[in-house]
Amino acid sequence: MEQSSINEAERLVINSFLTPSKPIRVDLYKLQKDQNNYSCVGVVGAHIILKENETTLYDDIYSDSIFTLNYFPVAGAAYSIEVSYEDLASAKATTNIPKAIRCTGEFTYGKYWDIRSFLIKLNDFIVPPDNRASLWITAYQETDDGETVQYNEIYINNVFIDKTNSYGGMGTVNDIAGSIYYESFLRIKNTNIHKMDELIFTPVKVCYFEEEFLLNQEKIKVKLITAGPEYDQYSKNLYEQKNRIIHEEDISSVFYQPCPVYCNIENGLGLFAGMNEVDYYFDYPVKTE
């Protein structure tokens, strides 16, 4: 670049995922400029106004950069936040907590040792009405003592899954799940949720490092994330941004394009987004011979 006009204003960064399964937490930072360098530092002593359906939940100065409130967001409610700090412009955002999408689940397999025969079937989806949310699905290996490792390849043969994170596998995992896998998550956009009657997939964990092997797996956990529009756009954009990195100036560069990440903070940066999570557990096959 021979000519540059980068001159970003100093402003607040607000980060929060609001979900009924966790108490409210908001991370606060300040983007500051020191000569030509920008950095983010935690903000202590900001004035925070947090409302639920116009009812004030908090209105005071907070003495930490990580704001926590022992209060669980409510599905279907609207939340707003306004943060003021020193002479920076007040940063504001609003979001809604979507009601959870639910389903029934079933786990089948062939031989207990044959992970390629594992099939998780989700069906009978219950989608709350007037819902602009999308559905994200992740799956995990879990032990009884809470150790968790995420499945990083989910094989599925279904036309309703967003192709953003899809890859062609080197072969078919099984006749039902096919040979196309999705990196770590499945995303079904809002308009496709209503068309979908069932999802059948095979989760696979590919270990890149030895320490990733999870011994004594007891459960498979499947998480359904009902993603409000803000959460959905942010996560999709961030995935795209992280995956469109040019591989050291090879020919893949011809596909590169700048990829901004969604932000809903007025006068600031970050995200204030509602979501809802439901977990489904399936017992891991036990050794039978």
38 to 77, contacts with another protein by CB under 8 A? 38, 40
Rg (CA), the chain: 22
The one among 84, 150, 217, 267 contacting another protein by CB under 8 A: 150
- Asked if 149 touches another protein (CB under 8 A), the answer is yes
**For another protein, the closer CB: 129 or 168:** 168
**For another protein, the closer CB: 3 or 288:** 3
User: What is the rounded distance in angstroms from the CA atom of residue 126 to the CA atom of residue 104?
Assistant: 9
What is the CB-side half-sphere exposure of residue 248 using CA atoms within 13 A? Answer: 0
The one among 34, 54, 144, 171 contacting another protein by CB under 8 A: 171
User: What is the rounded distance in angstroms from the CA atom of residue 153 to the CA atom of residue 195?
Assistant: 24
User: What is the rounded distance in angstroms from the CA atom of residue 75 to the CA atom of residue 206?
Assistant: 35
- Asked if 168 touches another protein (CB under 8 A), the answer is yes
Burial 58-92 (b: 16+ CB within 10 A, else e): beeebeebebeeeeebebebebbbbbbbeebeebb
What is the CB-side half-sphere exposure of residue 169 using CA atoms within 13 A? Answer: 22
- Asked if 4 touches another protein (CB under 8 A), the answer is yes
**Window contacting another protein (CB under 8 A); options: 70-78, 117-125, 234-242, 280-288:** 234-242
**Window contacting another protein (CB under 8 A); options: 55-63, 78-86, 112-120, 144-152:** 144-152
The one among 67, 79, 85, 151 contacting another protein by CB under 8 A: 151
- Asked if 251 touches another protein (CB under 8 A), the answer is yes
**Window contacting another protein (CB under 8 A); options: 47-55, 73-81, 91-99, 239-247:** 239-247
**For another protein, the closer CB: 208 or 288:** 208
- Residue 176: C-alpha distances to residues 97, 117, 120, 184, 201 (Å): 35, 9, 11, 19, 8
The one among 87, 197, 249, 289 contacting another protein by CB under 8 A: 249
**For another protein, the closer CB: 112 or 189:** 189
Q: Which of residues 173-212 bind another protein (CB under 8 A)?
A: 175, 178-180, 183-185, 189-192, 208-209, 212
What values do phi and psi take at 256, rounded to 5?
-70, 140
The total of other beta-carbon atoms located within 10 Å of residue 171's CB is 7
Q: Which of residues 262-281 bind another protein (CB under 8 A)?
A: 262, 269-271, 273
Q: Please state whether beta strands 11-18 and 46-52 pair in parallel, antiparallel, or not at all (unpaired).
A: unpaired
- Asked if 215 touches another protein (CB under 8 A), the answer is no
Which positions ≥6 away from 230 have C-beta within 8 Å? 95, 262, 264, 271, 272, 273, 274
- Asked if 9 touches another protein (CB under 8 A), the answer is no
